[in-house]
Amino acid sequence: MPTIDTPEVPLKSSAAPEYNSTKGLVVDVALRVLLFAAALVAIIVLVTSKQTKLIPVAPGLAVPLAAKFTQSPAFIYFIAALSVACLYSIITVALSVLALMRGGVSTKMQFQFVMFDALLLGIVAAATGAAGGVSYVAFKGNSHTRWNKICNTYDSFCFHIASSLLLSLISSIALLLLVWLSLYVLSKKIASR
């Protein structure tokens, strides 16, 4: 009987480092750096989007009117969501690099990372949708509600917004890929045991 019981203990404790997740962790850090870069550039591009134009208000009278992102609550939420994503990516890159130097990330830490990744995916996707919905009205207008398009006047403002939207879409995709990657690594860890 004792000869059968003894191998159980080393088998259970040696099971932990069976699957080497270092490769997955390098891709993870690369995706987080991409997320950081995309979110940061999106914020900068949107913040610098202000454009002032002379708008005719009466025959022979034109006043300078500025288009700023602060004029729409959707863009303010957009900036807030991307700022959170940017800050989050800095923290997680630092933690991931630390884990990489120590040789690997623990399952518990990976579980916590991917929980926040999924939460941020929802927040950033909603922000992209909100800003995109309002931008579409600004770009095309809406004849039914008599909302006039403004992008024919504020061309540079709209170009900034479109670039910012594209970058936040990239951020959302990076977050989705991060969730998928973590799931893949977790399922590999289960399969290897």
Residues in touch with a second copy (CB under 8 A): 3-4, 6-8, 11, 15, 67, 71-74, 107-108, 111, 114-115, 118-119, 121-123, 125-134, 136-138, 140, 142, 144-148, 150, 172, 175-176, 179-180, 183-184, 186-187, 189-191, 193
- Cβ 135 to a second copy shortest distance, Å: 9
C-alpha–C-alpha distance, residues 41 and 67, integer Å: 20
Residue 9: partners with Cβ closer than 8 Å, 6 or more residues away? none
- Cβ 40 to a second copy shortest distance, Å: 21
Residue 9 or 101 with smaller CB distance to a second copy: 9
C-alpha–C-alpha distance, residues 90 and 78, integer Å: 18
Cβ(28)–Cβ(178) under 8 Å?
yes
- Cβ 190 to a second copy shortest distance, Å: 5
Please report the sign of the dihedral spanned by the C-alpha atoms of residue 176, residue 182, residue 188, residue 190: negative
- Cβ 179 to a second copy shortest distance, Å: 5
